[in-house]
Amino acid sequence: MKRNGVIVRVPGKVNLQLSVGPLSADGYHEVTTVFQAISVYDDVTVKFAEPGTGIVLTLSGSTTAGVPTDSTNLAYQAAQLMIDRHDLDSDLSIHIKKEIPVAGGMAGGSADAAGTIVAIDALFELGLSRDGMEKIASELGSDVPFSITGGIAIGRGRGDEITPVLARGNYHWVLAMSSQGLSTQSVYQECDRLRTGLEIARPQVSDAMLQALRAGNAVGVGDALSNDLQAAACSLRPALRLVLDVGNDYGALGGIVSGSGPTVAFLVEDEERALDLTVALSASGVVAGVIRANGPTHGARVIETL
């Protein structure tokens, strides 16, 4: 029986480490990062649409404010790229149920693009390999290939050259949300400004982080959390320093601005500590919302065929 549509579930991410090189002549920064996919998901539904309608994108869920539904949306661009690359029927309905924060440093837009690629592969039964889908994903943005891979992985280059990491353990996260997002571009620009005149080394992942992940040592991972963009994010949004202080005061194993922010991710020992920190952050008056999550989790995958 022909499929009429598919639903793909795709996770958000935190960056356990983000090392940013100097601004290069092409206007980009070389990065090396450790991604972890966590249990905050968007669901992407792709269906065949009426002839002549083209790509129609709709949204629902708790984090849709400011998300475009036209060709500037990465999911729309992912659909168009797949249509062009594989000469597919161009009349598609895409619906995204969003729970990943927008402009929060958790790759929400990238996740939706990855989910769209996986959904179209399944809907048209293209039979693409994961590597094949990741190559297409890399044309759309730095975080999109990892959203297909999931788990824990190192991203190099612009973050789109993905290598899975040998890791053990399950990690408990408390995510402190901000009421407004931060532009990735503005955070990188502020990072460059703060580092003016400094000699910047090539980006790399610390041995301490890789050893902690191999051992499943949450304390070690907490100690090794680092983000070269954190100072820039805190410069643009000083209240983030207060959020980090609350987490440290309530016994988090470590806290970090995720990616370009402004989401702050706290690693905690167990579910009980996660609940305690959730209450403390909610009562602090310095966050817009709090989410508990676990990681690592799977990358984009089909959860239902329609």
Q: What is the pLDDT of residues 248-291, one digit of tens each?
A: 899 899 999 999 989 999 999 999 999 999 999 999 888 999 99
34-45 pLDDT tens trace: 999 999 999 999
The residue count of the chain comes to 306
Query: Mean pLDDT over all residues of the chain?
Result: 94
CATH number of 5-165+296-305: 3.30.230.10
Answer whether residue 1 shows pLDDT above 60: no
The DSSP code for 104 is: S
Domain with CATH 3.30.230.10 in the chain: 5-165+296-305
The DSSP code for 258 is: -
Domain with CATH 3.30.70.890 in the chain: 171-294
Question: 103 falls in which pLDDT band (50, 70, 90)?
Answer: confident
SS (H, E, C) 138-204: HCCCCCHHHHHHECEEEEECCCCEEEECCCCCCEEEEEEECCCCCCHHHHHHHHHHHCCCCCCCCCC
Residue that is written with structure tokens 């310095």 in the block: 286
Indicate if 143 belongs to the active site: yes
The correct answer on CATH 3.40.640.10 for the domain covering 171-294 is no
Nearest Cα to Cα of residue 17 among 258, 226, 163, 158: 226
Indicate if 2 belongs to the active site: no
Provide DSSP, 178-193: -SS---HHHHHHHHHH
From the candidates 43, 112, 143, 160, which is the catalytic residue?
A: 143
122-140 pLDDT tens trace: 999 999 999 999 999 999 9
Looking at per-residue pLDDT, the higher value among 2 and 164 belongs to 164
Answer whether residue 28 shows pLDDT above 80: yes
Looking at per-residue pLDDT, the higher value among 102 and 272 belongs to 272
Stretch 87-110: mean pLDDT: 93
Question: 3 falls in which pLDDT band (50, 70, 90)?
Answer: confident
188-240 pLDDT tens trace: 999 999 999 999 989 999 999 999 999 999 999 999 999 999 999 999 999 99
- pTM equals 0.94
Stretch 30-36: mean pLDDT: 95
Instruction: Give CA angle at 231 (108, 193), nearest 5°.
Output: 100
